[in-house]
């Protein structure tokens, strides 16, 4: 299966997750919106495996954001969090503000397109908090309408309220309902950095894998669970597990991250 075909499958999966979760997200967010000038919220986690999870009060915009590959890369997220985990914490994305520090050097056209595309969905003046937590970056955004340019004063003066809401969202929505592995999708090009994940020190040569092993690896590398892969291939989950174990033995690798890295090096074309 070609790279673009997989990406189309990922878009379809992401769209399904967005719209299935929207009622839960809205139920938690809208009471907060009623007492503040905020009318947009999104919550993302970018895992070192190259997987991504996102929930938003504007799922149509979020689907477009994913379809146009506007997600940040690992290196871009590192602009906001250093290796020790300390963080710039907050940064703005708005047509009336300068780009975040380092963004102009990273990919200014992507940031510009991100802002202009978001405006098409009437989402403006966003503030994002970026944290490094364990094996993922947590990225949380708030936004408002175009005319509320004073929203930046609100953000600055109400940081504690925003942080309380983030904790409330995680407690009421993410942890019990949304934070499941089957809601993750792959971020295109996120794994371009060799420092991202624990890969073997010696780059593996392309090894002969069976067609079934390649099919299993293909699905797992694109964020699907073993149960989904089993249903897709009409085999048992135990058989999928066996194929993945055989692949690891052939490649002399030890974990899922290394399998994904191998797929990106040899089959991502």
Query: Beta 51-56 vs 40-47: how paired, if at all?
Result: antiparallel
Out of 3.30.450.80, 3.40.50.2300, 3.30.70.3340, 3.30.70.141, select the CATH number for domain 3-190. 3.30.450.80
| Residue range(s) in the chain whose domain bears CATH number 1.10.10.10 | 198-266
247 touches 216 (CB < 8 A): yes
Residue-level pLDDT, tens digit, the chain, 269 residues:
445 555 666 778 778 888 888 888 999 999 999 999 999 999 999 888 888 888 899 998 888 888 888 888 787 787 666 544 444 467 777 766 555 555 545 566 777 788 888 888 899 999 888 888 888 889 999 999 989 888 888 988 898 999 999 999 998 888 767 666 567 777 666 655 433 333 333 444 556 889 899 988 888 877 778 888 899 999 999 999 999 889 888 887 766 767 776 777 777 65
User: 223 by DSSP, 3-state: which?
Assistant: coil
Spell out the CATH class of 198-266.
mainly alpha
pLDDT of residue 65: 86
pLDDT of residue 193: 42
pLDDT of residue 42: 94
Residue-wise pLDDT for 123-161, tens only, equals 999 988 888 888 888 999 999 998 988 888 898 889 899
Which alpha helices (H) appear in the chain, and where do they start and end? 3-34, 59-67, 74-77, 103-106, 108-120, 151-157, 159-169, 211-221, 226-233, 237-251, 256-266
57 touches 40 (CB < 8 A): yes
| Residue range(s) in the chain whose domain bears CATH number 3.30.450.80 | 3-190
Give CA–CA dist 23/152, Å, rounded: 28
Q: What's phi and psi for 48, nearest 5 deg? A: -65, -15
Q: What percent of the chain has pLDDT above 90?
A: 21
Give CA–CA dist 190/186, Å, rounded: 8
pTM: 0.65
């Amino acid at each position: 299966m070609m790279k673009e075909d997989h990406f189309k499958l990922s878009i379809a999966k992401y769209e399904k997750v967005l719209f299935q979760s929207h009622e839960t997200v809205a139920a938690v967010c809208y009471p907060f919106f009623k007492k503040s000038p905020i009318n947009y919220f999104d919550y993302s986690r970018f895992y070192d495996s190259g997987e991504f999870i996102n929930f938003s009060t504007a799922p149509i915009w979020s689907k477009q954001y994913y379809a146009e590959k506007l997600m940040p890369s690992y290196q871009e997220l590192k602009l906001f969090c250093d290796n020790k985990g300390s963080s710039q914490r907050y940064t703005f994305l708005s047509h009336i503000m300068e780009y975040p520090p380092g963004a102009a050097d990273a990919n200014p056209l992507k940031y510009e397109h991100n802002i202009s595309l978001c405006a098409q969905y009437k989402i403006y003046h966003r503030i994002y908090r970026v944290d490094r937590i364990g094996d993922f970056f947590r990225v949380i955004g708030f936004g408002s309408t175009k005319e509320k340019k004073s929203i930046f004063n609100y953000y600055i003066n109400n940081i504690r309220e925003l942080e309380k809401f983030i904790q409330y969202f995680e407690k009421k929505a993410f942890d019990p309902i949304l934070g499941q592995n089957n809601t993750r999708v792959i971020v295109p090009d996120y794994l371009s950095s060799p420092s991202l994940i624990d890969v073997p020190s010696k780059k593996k040569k392309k090894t002969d894998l069976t067609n079934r092993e390649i099919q299993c690896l293909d699905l797992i590398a694109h964020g699907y669970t073993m149960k989904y892969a089993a249903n897709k291939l009409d085999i048992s989950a135990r058989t999928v597990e066996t194929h993945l174990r055989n692949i690891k033995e052939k490649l002399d690798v030890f974990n899922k991250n290394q399998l994904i890295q191998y797929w990106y090096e040899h089959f991502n074309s």
